[in-house]
Structure 1
Amino acid sequence: MFSDRRAAGEQLAVALAEVAKPDPLILAVPRGGVPVAFPVWRRLGGDLDIIQPRKIGSPFNPELAIGAVAPDGTELRDAALIARLGVGEDYLRREAARQAAEAARRLRFYRGDRPPPRVGGRHVILVDDGVATGITDLLALRLLRRDGPASLTLAVPVGPAESIARLRAVADEVLCLEEPPAFQAVGEYYAAFPPVSDDEVIRLLKAAWEDPGSLPGNPP
């Protein structure tokens, strides 16, 4: 159990400090991954940025991910789950287009005119606040892999063993602090798990990008 996202990030940072390569590129999945990634960046240094895949939710339960999509429209589907639920192609196309547009909008909103980070040749650490089905993080890993990182690590506080195993097939390394045998939902493993606001995402990114007082090694 983690007290909140920041505390989870601090625990991840300690664990990553033992294995991380120098000058990493730390990429958070907004919104929840940003307050987890910030303490990681403070501990490890390097650069902090974001990657913005979006979940494609089931028409019967929007919180259940049946796929994921990137701002450029790159899509990943959970074919077995889609077939089991009987989700139609028309819905999938519409929802993928809607979520891709929203992902692109959010990326512009969070990053402004800042150019995207260079992934090729970097030691990349992807950070999220937890894994459920894992399909959103799986898409993020595949997108990053095609850009040729020197190494690719996924770091999350919690996730079910089945999903973590699937992610290990794509990442060079996966660090997951807790793999509960009876996993329910990510929020069940946090004492406080409030929604992360856009303002908080922007504040933390701005601190990493612009504020010398937030450089690694300085007190929060």
Structure 2
Amino acid sequence: MLFTDRAHAGQELAKALSDLAGQPELIVLALPRGGVPVAAEVAKALGLPLDILLVRKLGVPGHEEYAMGAIAGGDLIFLNQQVLRQLKLEQTQIDAVIERERAELHRREQRYRGERPSPELNDRNVVLIDDGLATGATMRVAIRAVHQAGARSVTVAVPVGASDTCDELAMLVDRLECPYSQSDLGGVGYWYDDFAQTTDAQVIQILQQYRAGGASE
């Protein structure tokens, strides 16, 4: 165990990102739901605006915790071809998972954002934050999404992650910050004392505290 909870992990991650404090044209984007309380602590410590980037893991049918890919808004899809080959999944099975997660993505977009527009990312410096990196499927599609949106630079920051995943994703971004890179991760939750699922209500509450102008007390 490295962290008591996600807030503690965010406080530790903020230390590793302290050089970004107050930088203009920089925005922190959390991957809901678990990344939101982590990113909130980073945004608060560094005086940066906080928003979300909605991404959904595509879980293997019957073993949903095992990612076969991920999906983001704008119909961005990443599929792990190695996993698909190993499991010999039918296209109909894959399509069913994509449609289910696309519906959940839309539900969360409405619930979390309401009438507020998505942040403008063109020519901005983006920090993508989650509570950890295992396979990296969701973060990979998040990176694609912000690049497609015209981000000037992309930083990925997580408190803990699988070292091989961190190495792979580091080649896709300008900077990757992972204070605790583990050769044998054993699951992100293993490194937290409290890894209870972040709820919709918690996400909404945190987002209400942070608006585009930066952290609000």
**What is the TM-score of this pair, normalised by structure 1?**
0.93
Name the residue aligned to 1:150: 152
Name the residue aligned to 2:19: 18
The amino acid that maps onto 2:62 is F
Q: Counterpart of 1:66 in 2: which secondary structure? A: strand
1:103 to 96, 102, 105: 105
| Distance in structure 1 (CA, Å) of the matches to 2:174 and 2:134 | 20
Work out whether residues 156 and 177 of structure 2, in 8 Å CA contact, stay in contact via their aligned partners in 1. yes
Work out whether residues 54 and 73 of structure 2, in 8 Å CA contact, stay in contact via their aligned partners in 1. yes
Name the residue aligned to 1:3: 4
1:46 to 35, 43, 48: 48
Residue 72 of structure 1 deviates from its aligned partner by 2.9
| Higher RCO, Cα 8 Å, sep 6+ | 2
Superimposed CA distance per residue, residues 63-102 of structure 1 (whole angstroms, 9 cap, x where no aligned partner) = 0000111233221100001111121111111111110121
Which blocks of at least 5 consecutive residues in structure 1 are unaligned?
none
Higher mean C-alpha displacement, 37-46 vs 203-212: 203-212
- Classify 1:82/1:4 alpha carbon distance in 2 versus 1 (closer, same or farther; 3 Å): same
The amino acid that maps onto 1:13 is A
> May I ask how many residue pairs the two structures share in their alignment?
215
Q: Counterpart of 2:210 in 1: which secondary structure? A: helix
RMSD between aligned residues: 1.7
The amino acid that maps onto 1:206 is Q
Work out whether residues 132 and 159 of structure 1, in 8 Å CA contact, stay in contact via their aligned partners in 2. yes
- Classify 1:84/1:7 alpha carbon distance in 2 versus 1 (closer, same or farther; 3 Å): same
Higher mean C-alpha displacement, 128-137 vs 97-106: 97-106
**What is the TM-score of this pair, normalised by structure 2?**
0.94
- Classify 1:211/1:147 alpha carbon distance in 2 versus 1 (closer, same or farther; 3 Å): closer
Residue 62 of structure 1 deviates from its aligned partner by 0.5
Q: Counterpart of 1:187 in 2: which secondary structure? A: helix
Q: Any runs of at least 4 consecutive aligned residues in structure 1 with deviations exceeding 4 A, and if so which?
A: none
Higher relative strand content: 2
Name the residue aligned to 1:184: 186
Name the residue aligned to 1:86: 88
Residue 46 of structure 1 deviates from its aligned partner by 2.6
| Distance in structure 2 (CA, Å) of the matches to 1:94 and 1:59 | 9
Higher mean C-alpha displacement, 164-173 vs 194-203: 164-173
Which blocks of at least 5 consecutive residues in structure 2 are unaligned?
none
Superimposed CA distance per residue, residues 4-53 of structure 1 (whole angstroms, 9 cap, x where no aligned partner) = 10000001111101256713210000000000000111112231100011
State the identity %.
36
Name the residue aligned to 1:28: 30
| Distance in structure 2 (CA, Å) of the matches to 1:197 and 1:157 | 20
